[in-house]
Structures are given as structure tokens and as C-alpha cells.
Amino acid sequence: MYHTACFTSSIANGSVLLQVTQLADPIIAPANLGFLVKQEIPNLGMVCGVGTNLTRIQLSSGSIRKLFPWDMDSVNVGTVLENPVRYLDFMSAPIPLDITEELDAFALQSNAGAQNEYIFVNFTDGPVKPVSGRMQTMHAVGSTTLVANKWTAVSLTLDNGLDGGLYSIVGMSAFSAGALFARILPRGTTAFRPGVPAAQARDQSIPHPWRYGGWGELMRFPNTAVPQVEFLSVSADTAEEVYFDLIKVG
């Protein structure tokens, strides 16, 4: 299992890395401007940075600094994730972090003035293995007004009813006018919220790992309790779309 969290704040331009603040998260506790590594998901599985003039990101923690702060040059430049998305994938061999240490994020941007930067990370409980099976994709829509630069929960209406039973979500794509990432908000099951890159254009490519079992089972739900999806957008969008890749398991 994994949980997607975000660092985002406005930073000045310059030649020195500046700290990006953790975005309030009900699952991962804050630690100063960073996140406190949680015992159940103590590994780093993915890093994805985006910003209008973003040039570089860095992660740091006590365990990381035993070698040196971790510099990363794979970034998405702009107000939308690039096509294809640029990210660092450690899901099959996640990086162990020390339990209860503080994970911090830093960024460098080349704009003349201050601007918002976004760094998304996955915390995992261990390596993620792909799954296979009889899959079908279901389309759903929402009409919630999103709060810019915050996780906003969206209730979804499926285009068609599901056959009675238990379903496994093995992939997802999400769309809204200003969305960067979206994550599943379960109802009455595990608290962790696995996320995927979100598209702002119909032809934007979402990498394979997030679809059709590439990163394993994201969560399960009964047909009577379809999960919500939280969007993180740069704008106050009023229309959302989600595609769930599903396997019926019960």
C-alpha cells in the first residue's frame, strides 16, 4: 500500500535551494515544515516535482543525510505535469526512511519573482508488485468546486451501476482544468490515500504504472460505498472526471 502526500508553498527565485512546506495531511503528521515518517509506511516510493520555472528539487532527512541531501533533476516545468510525466519511481525497491524522522523538501526556481512549487511523494509499506486479472474501466464525474492548492474531496457519480460485490481499484486517471494530482479517499477501509498524476488536457499521457495494475491494488470497496477522490489543483475547478480500473474480487 502507499500514501501520496504533497509539499507546496511559494518560494523566491535565486541560486539557493529554499524549503517547501508540507501541505496539511490528515494521515501524515507534520514535523516543522516537513512530514513525520509514519511507522506503517516508512519508505519513499516516488517523487514528482512541478512548478512554472522549477529547475531542481531536493529531499533531506536524518537517514538521507547520512550520505548527503538528495538532489533530483527530473522535474515538470510549467503549471501542468509534462507529457509524459517526469517523476522518479522507486516503488519496486523503495528507499527506507527512519521511523518518526522528519522528511523535508527543497526547491529552486528561476522566475523573476516568487511562485508556488509542488513536490509529491509516495510513502509505502514496502515494494509494490503489479497485479493482473480481468479488468474493466468505469467513468465517473464530480461537480465540486475545488480549493486551489489544497486537497479537496470530490463525491463521484458513476456513469453506470456496478454489479453487486467487492471491487479492487488497480488503476486510476483523473481530469480537471487545473489539476496536478488526485488521490483516492476510502470510505470505511484503510486510511491511506494512494494518488496518481492528474491531467488538464484530454491527450495528456498518464504513465503506465498508475493504470491497469502497474502499481498493484490501490484499495478495495463494495459497490455500495464508492470512494471519493481528492484533487489538488492550481485553480478552483468546478468539474472533475475519474476513470477507475477495476477487478471484481467478491
Q: How far apart are CA 141 and CA 231, in angstroms?
A: 13
pLDDT surpassing 80 at residue 195: yes
What pTM, to 2 d.p., does this model score?
0.95
What end-to-end distance do the CA atoms of the chain give, in Å? 20
Specify the pairing of strand 75-77 against strand 43-51.
Answer: parallel
Mean of the pLDDT values across residues 25-43? 97
Residue 170 pLDDT: 97
Q: What is the rounded CA–CA span in Å between residue 105 and residue 93?
A: 21
Local structure of 64: helix, strand or coil: helix
Q: What is the largest CA-CA distance in the chain?
A: 57
User: In this structure, what C-alpha cell is assigned to residue 20?
Assistant: 517547501
Residue-level pLDDT at 14:
80
CA distance 148 to 161: 31
- 116 forms bridges with which residues in the sheet? 10
Total residue count of the chain as it appears in this document: 250
User: Residue 31 pairs with which residues in a beta bridge?
Assistant: 34
Q: Cell numbers 523566491 label which residue?
A: 12
What's the pLDDT score for residue 59?
98
Model confidence at 204, pLDDT cuts 50, 70, 90, reads confident
Each residue of 147-161: pLDDT tens digit? 999 999 999 999 999
Q: Is the peptide bond before 222 cis (omega within 30 degrees of 0)?
A: no
Least Cα distance to 35 among 132, 115, 120 occurs for: 120
pLDDT at 190 over 80: no
Domain residue limits, the chain: 2-124, 136-248
pLDDT score of 126 more than 70 = yes
Residue 208 pLDDT more than 90? no
Task: Read off the pLDDT of each residue in 38-45 and give the average, rounded to a whole number.
Answer: 97
Matching residue, cell 474531496: 153
135 vs 210: CA distance, rounded Å: 14
CA distance 171 to 213: 6
Q: Report pLDDT digits (tens) over 44-92.
A: 999 999 999 999 999 999 999 999 999 998 899 999 999 899 999 999 9
pLDDT of residue 189: 61
Fold of domain 2-124: Jelly Rolls (2.60.120)
In angstroms, rounded to a whole number, what is the distance separating the alpha carbons of residues 154 and 140? 11
